[in-house]
Amino acid sequence: MAIEIMTIDEAKDNTAELLSTRFSHVRALSVALTSNLSDADATAQSMPDASPAKWHLAHTTWFFETFVLSDFALGYRLYDQRFPFLFNSYYETKGARIGRAARGLMTRPSLEEVLAYRCHVDEAMHNVMHRIPSQALELVSLGCHHEEQHQELLLTDILHLFAQNPLAPALWPPAKIKQTNIPLPVQWVEGRRGAVDIGHSGNGFAFDCETPHHTTWLTPHALANRLVTNGEWITFIEAGGYTAAGHWLSDGWDWVKHNAIEAPLYWRRNDAGAWAFQFGLDGVAALDLAAPVRHISFYEADAFARWAGARLPTEAEWESGAQALDNGKGNFLDQPGPARPFPAEASCGLNQMFGDVWEWTGSAYLAYPGFRPAPGAVGEYNGKFMSGQFVLKGGSCATPRGHARASYRNFFHPHQRWQFTGVRLAKDI
Protein backbone atom coordinates (compact mmCIF):
# COMPACT_ATOMS: atom_id res chain seq x y z
CA MET A 1 0.00 0.00 0.00
CA ALA A 2 1.42 3.37 -0.99
CA ILE A 3 1.81 5.89 1.78
CA GLU A 4 1.22 9.49 0.82
CA ILE A 5 3.79 11.82 2.37
CA MET A 6 3.01 15.51 2.59
CA THR A 7 5.86 17.79 1.57
CA ILE A 8 6.95 20.73 3.72
CA ASP A 9 5.34 23.16 1.28
CA GLU A 10 2.10 21.18 1.23
CA ALA A 11 2.02 21.03 5.02
CA LYS A 12 2.54 24.78 5.20
CA ASP A 13 -0.25 25.39 2.67
CA ASN A 14 -2.57 23.16 4.71
CA THR A 15 -1.69 25.04 7.89
CA ALA A 16 -2.29 28.37 6.15
CA GLU A 17 -5.69 27.21 4.87
CA LEU A 18 -6.83 26.00 8.29
CA LEU A 19 -5.52 29.15 9.92
CA SER A 20 -7.26 31.35 7.37
CA THR A 21 -10.58 29.70 8.25
CA ARG A 22 -9.92 30.11 11.97
CA PHE A 23 -8.88 33.73 11.47
CA SER A 24 -12.16 34.49 9.68
CA HIS A 25 -14.23 32.84 12.42
CA VAL A 26 -12.47 34.67 15.26
CA ARG A 27 -12.66 38.04 13.53
CA ALA A 28 -16.34 37.63 12.68
CA LEU A 29 -17.26 36.71 16.26
CA SER A 30 -15.69 39.90 17.64
CA VAL A 31 -17.81 42.03 15.34
CA ALA A 32 -20.93 40.00 16.08
CA LEU A 33 -20.47 40.49 19.83
CA THR A 34 -20.67 44.26 19.32
CA SER A 35 -23.50 44.33 16.80
CA ASN A 36 -26.02 45.69 19.33
CA LEU A 37 -23.81 48.57 20.49
CA SER A 38 -24.22 52.21 19.58
CA ASP A 39 -21.17 54.35 18.88
CA ALA A 40 -21.57 55.82 22.38
CA ASP A 41 -21.74 52.32 23.93
CA ALA A 42 -18.56 51.36 22.11
CA THR A 43 -16.68 54.53 23.13
CA ALA A 44 -17.31 54.81 26.87
CA GLN A 45 -14.88 53.48 29.48
CA SER A 46 -16.29 52.73 32.94
CA MET A 47 -13.02 52.28 34.85
CA PRO A 48 -9.26 52.13 34.20
CA ASP A 49 -9.23 48.31 34.26
CA ALA A 50 -11.75 48.21 31.41
CA SER A 51 -11.44 49.39 27.81
CA PRO A 52 -14.01 50.67 25.31
CA ALA A 53 -15.47 48.08 22.97
CA LYS A 54 -14.14 49.84 19.89
CA TRP A 55 -10.67 49.90 21.44
CA HIS A 56 -10.79 46.09 21.76
CA LEU A 57 -11.88 45.84 18.13
CA ALA A 58 -9.06 48.12 17.01
CA HIS A 59 -6.31 46.78 19.28
CA THR A 60 -6.78 43.19 18.10
CA THR A 61 -6.57 44.53 14.54
CA TRP A 62 -3.42 46.50 15.38
CA PHE A 63 -1.88 43.23 16.59
CA PHE A 64 -2.19 41.60 13.16
CA GLU A 65 -1.15 44.76 11.33
CA THR A 66 1.92 45.25 13.56
CA PHE A 67 3.21 41.73 14.06
CA VAL A 68 2.25 40.15 10.73
CA LEU A 69 1.52 42.61 7.95
CA SER A 70 4.14 45.25 8.75
CA ASP A 71 6.90 42.68 9.20
CA PHE A 72 6.04 40.03 6.61
CA ALA A 73 3.80 41.55 3.90
CA LEU A 74 6.05 43.22 1.35
CA GLY A 75 4.85 46.73 0.50
CA TYR A 76 2.15 46.90 3.16
CA ARG A 77 1.44 50.41 4.44
CA LEU A 78 -0.25 51.24 7.72
CA TYR A 79 -3.96 51.93 7.41
CA ASP A 80 -3.51 55.07 9.50
CA GLN A 81 -0.20 56.34 10.85
CA ARG A 82 -1.95 57.57 14.04
CA PHE A 83 -3.45 54.21 14.99
CA PRO A 84 -0.33 52.56 16.53
CA PHE A 85 -0.28 55.28 19.22
CA LEU A 86 -4.01 54.83 19.87
CA PHE A 87 -4.20 51.04 19.89
CA ASN A 88 -0.91 49.70 21.23
CA SER A 89 -1.68 48.24 24.66
CA TYR A 90 1.50 47.70 26.67
CA TYR A 91 4.26 46.81 24.18
CA GLU A 92 7.16 49.05 25.15
CA THR A 93 9.20 47.93 22.15
CA LYS A 94 6.44 49.11 19.79
CA GLY A 95 6.59 52.73 20.82
CA ALA A 96 4.52 55.34 22.63
CA ARG A 97 0.83 54.81 23.36
CA ILE A 98 -2.13 56.54 24.92
CA GLY A 99 -2.57 55.95 28.64
CA ARG A 100 -4.86 53.04 29.48
CA ALA A 101 -7.19 55.13 31.64
CA ALA A 102 -7.62 57.63 28.78
CA ARG A 103 -8.91 55.18 26.18
CA GLY A 104 -12.50 56.26 26.80
CA LEU A 105 -11.64 59.83 25.78
CA MET A 106 -11.15 58.77 22.16
CA THR A 107 -14.44 59.90 20.64
CA ARG A 108 -12.67 59.56 17.30
CA PRO A 109 -12.17 57.36 15.36
CA SER A 110 -15.78 56.28 15.39
CA LEU A 111 -16.99 52.70 15.67
CA GLU A 112 -17.74 52.78 11.95
CA GLU A 113 -14.15 53.83 11.19
CA VAL A 114 -12.77 51.10 13.45
CA LEU A 115 -14.87 48.50 11.63
CA ALA A 116 -13.50 49.82 8.32
CA TYR A 117 -9.98 49.41 9.74
CA ARG A 118 -10.78 45.81 10.59
CA CYS A 119 -12.05 45.12 7.07
CA HIS A 120 -8.89 46.60 5.54
CA VAL A 121 -6.58 44.49 7.70
CA ASP A 122 -8.68 41.34 7.26
CA GLU A 123 -8.49 41.64 3.48
CA ALA A 124 -4.74 42.18 3.61
CA MET A 125 -4.30 39.18 5.92
CA HIS A 126 -6.24 36.86 3.61
CA ASN A 127 -4.19 38.08 0.63
CA VAL A 128 -0.88 37.15 2.27
CA MET A 129 -1.82 34.12 4.39
CA HIS A 130 -0.43 31.61 1.89
CA ARG A 131 2.71 33.63 1.15
CA ILE A 132 4.07 34.44 4.59
CA PRO A 133 6.65 32.17 6.28
CA SER A 134 5.89 29.65 9.00
CA GLN A 135 7.17 32.08 11.62
CA ALA A 136 4.47 34.54 10.60
CA LEU A 137 1.79 31.84 10.64
CA GLU A 138 2.69 31.16 14.27
CA LEU A 139 2.06 34.84 14.96
CA VAL A 140 -1.32 34.61 13.22
CA SER A 141 -2.21 31.73 15.53
CA LEU A 142 -1.07 33.76 18.53
CA GLY A 143 -3.13 36.70 17.28
CA CYS A 144 -6.28 34.56 17.07
CA HIS A 145 -5.85 33.37 20.66
CA HIS A 146 -5.07 36.94 21.69
CA GLU A 147 -8.31 38.12 20.10
CA GLU A 148 -10.28 35.42 21.90
CA GLN A 149 -8.92 36.79 25.17
CA HIS A 150 -10.17 40.21 24.14
CA GLN A 151 -13.58 38.83 23.22
CA GLU A 152 -14.06 37.87 26.85
CA LEU A 153 -12.64 41.18 28.06
CA LEU A 154 -14.92 43.00 25.64
CA LEU A 155 -18.00 41.34 27.12
CA THR A 156 -16.99 41.85 30.73
CA ASP A 157 -16.07 45.47 30.04
CA ILE A 158 -19.47 46.09 28.42
CA LEU A 159 -21.13 44.42 31.41
CA HIS A 160 -19.31 46.74 33.81
CA LEU A 161 -20.19 49.77 31.68
CA PHE A 162 -23.88 48.89 31.46
CA ALA A 163 -24.00 48.20 35.21
CA GLN A 164 -23.20 51.87 35.82
CA ASN A 165 -26.23 52.97 33.80
CA PRO A 166 -29.38 53.62 35.91
CA LEU A 167 -31.46 52.20 33.05
CA ALA A 168 -29.70 48.80 33.46
CA PRO A 169 -29.53 48.18 29.70
CA ALA A 170 -29.13 44.62 28.43
CA LEU A 171 -26.74 43.68 25.65
CA TRP A 172 -28.98 40.75 24.70
CA PRO A 173 -32.56 39.70 25.48
CA PRO A 174 -32.93 37.53 28.59
CA ALA A 175 -32.27 33.85 28.13
CA LYS A 176 -35.17 31.51 28.86
CA ILE A 177 -33.55 29.51 31.64
CA LYS A 178 -35.46 27.56 34.24
CA GLN A 179 -33.94 28.19 37.66
CA THR A 180 -33.53 25.20 39.94
CA ASN A 181 -32.36 26.83 43.21
CA ILE A 182 -31.45 23.31 44.40
CA PRO A 183 -27.70 22.68 44.18
CA LEU A 184 -25.92 19.42 43.65
CA PRO A 185 -24.74 18.13 47.06
CA VAL A 186 -21.10 18.83 47.85
CA GLN A 187 -18.82 15.83 47.65
CA TRP A 188 -15.06 15.71 48.02
CA VAL A 189 -13.02 14.18 45.22
CA GLU A 190 -9.58 13.01 46.29
CA GLY A 191 -6.82 14.32 44.06
CA ARG A 192 -3.58 12.82 42.89
CA ARG A 193 -0.68 12.86 45.29
CA GLY A 194 3.07 12.71 44.99
CA ALA A 195 4.94 13.68 41.83
CA VAL A 196 2.72 15.04 39.05
CA ASP A 197 3.50 16.79 35.78
CA ILE A 198 1.86 20.11 34.94
CA GLY A 199 2.27 22.74 32.26
CA HIS A 200 1.87 22.45 28.51
CA SER A 201 3.45 19.59 26.61
CA GLY A 202 2.99 18.08 23.20
CA ASN A 203 1.30 19.56 20.16
CA GLY A 204 -1.22 22.36 20.01
CA PHE A 205 -1.12 26.00 20.92
CA ALA A 206 -0.13 27.27 24.35
CA PHE A 207 0.99 30.64 25.69
CA ASP A 208 4.59 30.86 26.79
CA CYS A 209 3.66 31.15 30.48
CA GLU A 210 2.18 27.63 30.35
CA THR A 211 5.66 26.22 29.78
CA PRO A 212 7.89 24.43 30.45
CA HIS A 213 6.25 21.14 31.31
CA HIS A 214 7.61 20.17 34.70
CA THR A 215 7.16 17.98 37.74
CA THR A 216 5.77 19.19 41.05
CA TRP A 217 4.75 17.49 44.30
CA LEU A 218 1.22 17.24 45.67
CA THR A 219 0.33 16.38 49.25
CA PRO A 220 -2.95 14.52 50.02
CA HIS A 221 -5.89 16.75 49.18
CA ALA A 222 -9.43 16.80 47.82
CA LEU A 223 -11.40 19.17 45.59
CA ALA A 224 -15.10 19.94 45.89
CA ASN A 225 -17.10 18.29 43.12
CA ARG A 226 -18.69 21.61 42.13
CA LEU A 227 -18.37 25.38 42.38
CA VAL A 228 -19.63 27.43 45.32
CA THR A 229 -23.20 28.64 44.67
CA ASN A 230 -25.13 31.88 45.12
CA GLY A 231 -27.18 30.27 47.86
CA GLU A 232 -24.07 29.31 49.81
CA TRP A 233 -22.77 32.85 49.39
CA ILE A 234 -25.97 34.29 50.87
CA THR A 235 -25.42 32.04 53.89
CA PHE A 236 -21.89 33.44 54.16
CA ILE A 237 -23.25 37.00 54.06
CA GLU A 238 -25.95 36.27 56.63
CA ALA A 239 -23.33 34.71 58.91
CA GLY A 240 -21.41 38.00 58.92
CA GLY A 241 -18.93 37.08 56.23
CA TYR A 242 -18.30 40.68 55.21
CA THR A 243 -18.25 42.03 58.77
CA ALA A 244 -15.98 39.55 60.58
CA ALA A 245 -12.31 40.42 60.14
CA GLY A 246 -11.18 36.95 61.19
CA HIS A 247 -12.05 35.42 57.81
CA TRP A 248 -9.98 37.88 55.82
CA LEU A 249 -6.40 38.47 54.80
CA SER A 250 -5.22 41.85 56.06
CA ASP A 251 -5.15 43.39 52.58
CA GLY A 252 -8.57 41.88 51.88
CA TRP A 253 -10.10 43.31 55.03
CA ASP A 254 -8.71 46.75 54.18
CA TRP A 255 -10.22 46.38 50.70
CA VAL A 256 -13.63 45.45 52.14
CA LYS A 257 -13.69 48.43 54.51
CA HIS A 258 -12.29 50.97 52.06
CA ASN A 259 -14.75 50.00 49.31
CA ALA A 260 -17.76 49.16 51.53
CA ILE A 261 -18.01 45.68 49.98
CA GLU A 262 -21.16 43.81 51.03
CA ALA A 263 -21.74 41.21 48.32
CA PRO A 264 -20.46 39.99 44.93
CA LEU A 265 -20.28 42.56 42.17
CA TYR A 266 -23.59 43.26 40.39
CA TRP A 267 -25.77 41.83 43.17
CA ARG A 268 -28.86 43.91 43.90
CA ARG A 269 -31.35 44.01 46.76
CA ASN A 270 -35.12 43.69 46.58
CA ASP A 271 -37.54 46.12 48.19
CA ALA A 272 -37.20 44.29 51.49
CA GLY A 273 -33.44 44.80 51.49
CA ALA A 274 -32.50 41.17 50.75
CA TRP A 275 -29.98 40.19 48.08
CA ALA A 276 -32.26 38.79 45.38
CA PHE A 277 -31.09 39.95 41.94
CA GLN A 278 -27.99 40.11 39.79
CA PHE A 279 -27.18 42.27 36.79
CA GLY A 280 -25.85 40.46 33.74
CA LEU A 281 -25.40 40.81 30.01
CA ASP A 282 -29.12 40.09 29.66
CA GLY A 283 -30.12 42.66 32.28
CA VAL A 284 -31.37 42.19 35.83
CA ALA A 285 -32.45 38.66 36.79
CA ALA A 286 -33.35 36.83 39.98
CA LEU A 287 -30.48 35.08 41.69
CA ASP A 288 -30.43 31.36 40.93
CA LEU A 289 -29.38 29.93 44.29
CA ALA A 290 -27.96 26.80 42.66
CA ALA A 291 -25.86 28.63 40.07
CA PRO A 292 -22.18 29.36 40.70
CA VAL A 293 -21.42 32.63 42.45
CA ARG A 294 -19.64 34.97 40.06
CA HIS A 295 -17.78 38.27 40.03
CA ILE A 296 -15.90 37.77 43.28
CA SER A 297 -12.35 38.81 44.09
CA PHE A 298 -9.53 36.60 45.30
CA TYR A 299 -9.97 38.23 48.70
CA GLU A 300 -13.63 37.17 48.80
CA ALA A 301 -12.88 33.66 47.54
CA ASP A 302 -10.19 33.20 50.17
CA ALA A 303 -12.39 34.57 52.97
CA PHE A 304 -15.28 32.27 52.01
CA ALA A 305 -12.97 29.26 51.96
CA ARG A 306 -11.67 30.08 55.45
CA TRP A 307 -15.22 30.57 56.72
CA ALA A 308 -16.22 27.21 55.23
CA GLY A 309 -13.31 25.44 56.95
CA ALA A 310 -11.58 24.81 53.65
CA ARG A 311 -9.07 26.59 51.40
CA LEU A 312 -8.49 27.49 47.77
CA PRO A 313 -6.92 24.82 45.55
CA THR A 314 -3.38 25.31 44.38
CA GLU A 315 -2.80 25.70 40.67
CA ALA A 316 -1.14 22.28 40.53
CA GLU A 317 -4.00 20.59 42.41
CA TRP A 318 -6.56 22.10 40.06
CA GLU A 319 -4.60 21.31 36.91
CA SER A 320 -3.84 17.72 37.89
CA GLY A 321 -7.54 17.18 38.55
CA ALA A 322 -8.53 18.62 35.17
CA GLN A 323 -5.98 16.87 32.96
CA ALA A 324 -8.15 13.82 32.27
CA LEU A 325 -11.29 15.86 31.58
CA ASP A 326 -12.57 17.12 28.22
CA ASN A 327 -11.77 20.82 28.00
CA GLY A 328 -14.12 21.15 25.02
CA LYS A 329 -17.17 20.48 27.15
CA GLY A 330 -18.67 22.93 29.56
CA ASN A 331 -20.55 26.20 29.50
CA PHE A 332 -18.49 28.40 27.15
CA LEU A 333 -19.21 31.22 24.71
CA ASP A 334 -20.26 29.76 21.36
CA GLN A 335 -22.00 32.72 19.73
CA PRO A 336 -23.49 36.10 20.62
CA GLY A 337 -26.07 35.75 23.35
CA PRO A 338 -26.49 35.86 27.13
CA ALA A 339 -23.52 34.44 29.01
CA ARG A 340 -24.19 33.17 32.51
CA PRO A 341 -23.03 30.24 34.68
CA PHE A 342 -25.32 27.23 35.09
CA PRO A 343 -25.87 24.96 38.12
CA ALA A 344 -23.82 21.79 38.29
CA GLU A 345 -25.44 18.67 36.85
CA ALA A 346 -25.77 15.46 38.81
CA SER A 347 -22.81 13.28 37.94
CA CYS A 348 -19.89 11.64 39.64
CA GLY A 349 -16.46 13.21 39.87
CA LEU A 350 -15.51 16.82 39.25
CA ASN A 351 -18.14 19.09 37.70
CA GLN A 352 -17.75 22.53 36.09
CA MET A 353 -13.97 22.37 35.77
CA PHE A 354 -14.19 24.06 32.37
CA GLY A 355 -16.49 26.98 31.63
CA ASP A 356 -19.05 28.74 33.85
CA VAL A 357 -16.55 30.84 35.90
CA TRP A 358 -12.80 31.26 36.18
CA GLU A 359 -11.73 29.57 39.42
CA TRP A 360 -9.41 31.39 41.80
CA THR A 361 -6.47 29.35 43.04
CA GLY A 362 -4.24 30.08 45.99
CA SER A 363 -1.18 30.18 43.71
CA ALA A 364 0.67 33.32 42.78
CA TYR A 365 1.19 33.94 39.08
CA LEU A 366 4.92 33.26 38.80
CA ALA A 367 7.24 31.70 36.25
CA TYR A 368 7.55 27.95 36.01
CA PRO A 369 11.05 26.50 36.57
CA GLY A 370 13.09 27.16 33.44
CA PHE A 371 10.65 29.67 31.93
CA ARG A 372 12.09 32.01 29.32
CA PRO A 373 9.98 34.68 27.61
CA ALA A 374 9.94 34.68 23.82
CA PRO A 375 12.45 37.01 22.14
CA GLY A 376 11.26 40.34 20.77
CA ALA A 377 8.05 42.25 21.39
CA VAL A 378 5.85 39.15 21.79
CA GLY A 379 7.96 38.29 24.83
CA GLU A 380 6.12 41.10 26.62
CA TYR A 381 2.87 39.16 26.31
CA ASN A 382 2.86 37.35 29.66
CA GLY A 383 6.19 37.24 31.43
CA LYS A 384 6.38 40.85 32.58
CA PHE A 385 3.10 40.52 34.51
CA MET A 386 4.43 37.88 36.91
CA SER A 387 4.12 40.04 40.01
CA GLY A 388 1.33 40.53 42.54
CA GLN A 389 -1.33 38.48 40.73
CA PHE A 390 -3.04 35.13 41.30
CA VAL A 391 -3.75 32.29 38.89
CA LEU A 392 -7.28 31.40 37.76
CA LYS A 393 -8.14 28.22 35.89
CA GLY A 394 -10.83 26.69 33.71
CA GLY A 395 -12.42 29.45 31.61
CA SER A 396 -15.89 30.95 31.92
CA CYS A 397 -19.23 31.32 30.20
CA ALA A 398 -17.70 34.32 28.38
CA THR A 399 -14.61 32.41 27.22
CA PRO A 400 -14.80 31.30 23.56
CA ARG A 401 -15.13 27.53 23.31
CA GLY A 402 -11.81 25.85 22.59
CA HIS A 403 -9.76 28.62 24.16
CA ALA A 404 -9.24 27.09 27.62
CA ARG A 405 -7.28 23.96 28.60
CA ALA A 406 -5.96 22.39 31.79
CA SER A 407 -2.60 24.16 31.51
CA TYR A 408 -4.11 27.59 30.73
CA ARG A 409 -3.06 30.26 33.23
CA ASN A 410 -5.32 33.29 33.59
CA PHE A 411 -4.20 35.88 36.11
CA PHE A 412 -5.62 38.92 37.88
CA HIS A 413 -4.86 41.11 40.87
CA PRO A 414 -6.54 39.94 44.09
CA HIS A 415 -9.02 42.84 44.28
CA GLN A 416 -10.33 42.50 40.70
CA ARG A 417 -13.73 40.93 40.15
CA TRP A 418 -15.35 42.35 37.03
CA GLN A 419 -14.48 39.12 35.20
CA PHE A 420 -16.60 35.96 35.53
CA THR A 421 -14.65 34.73 38.55
CA GLY A 422 -15.79 32.18 41.12
CA VAL A 423 -14.46 29.61 43.56
CA ARG A 424 -14.11 25.87 44.13
CA LEU A 425 -13.12 24.68 47.58
CA ALA A 426 -10.22 22.38 48.44
CA LYS A 427 -9.03 20.77 51.64
CA ASP A 428 -6.13 18.74 53.02
CA ILE A 429 -6.75 15.08 53.83
Determine what percent of the chain is predicted with pLDDT higher than 70: 97
Q: Are 51 and 101 contacting, i.e. CB atoms less than 8 angstroms apart? A: no
Q: Using one digit for the tens of pLDDT, what is the confidence trace for 354-407?
A: 999 999 999 999 999 999 887 777 776 777 888 999 999 999 999 999 999 999
Taking a C-beta distance cutoff of 8 angstroms, is the pair 183, 344 a contact? yes
Residue 71 confidence (pLDDT) above 70: yes
Q: Convert the pLDDT of each residue in 290-314 to its tens digit.
A: 999 999 999 999 999 999 999 999 9
- Rounded CA separation 92/111 (Å): 26
The CATH-assigned architecture of domain 188-428 is Alpha-Beta Complex (3.90)
In the chain, CATH 1.20.120 covers 8-163
The CATH code of domain 8-163 reads 1.20.120
Q: Using 50, 70 and 90 to split pLDDT, how confident is the model at 5?
A: very low
CATH 3.90.1580.10 domain range(s) in the chain: 188-428
Instruction: Report the share of the chain in percent with pLDDT over 90.
Output: 86
Rounded to two decimals, what is the model's pTM? 0.95
Structure confidence by residue, pLDDT tens digits, 200-237: 988 889 999 999 999 999 999 999 999 999 999 999 99
Q: Can you give the pLDDT at residue 295?
A: 98
Please state, in angstroms and rounded to a whole number, the distance separating the CA atoms of residues 237 and 173.
30
pLDDT tens for residues 248-271? Answer: 999 999 999 999 999 999 999 999
pLDDT tens digit string along 16-46? 999 999 999 999 999 999 999 999 999 999 9
Confidence of residue 10 (pLDDT cuts 50, 70, 90): low
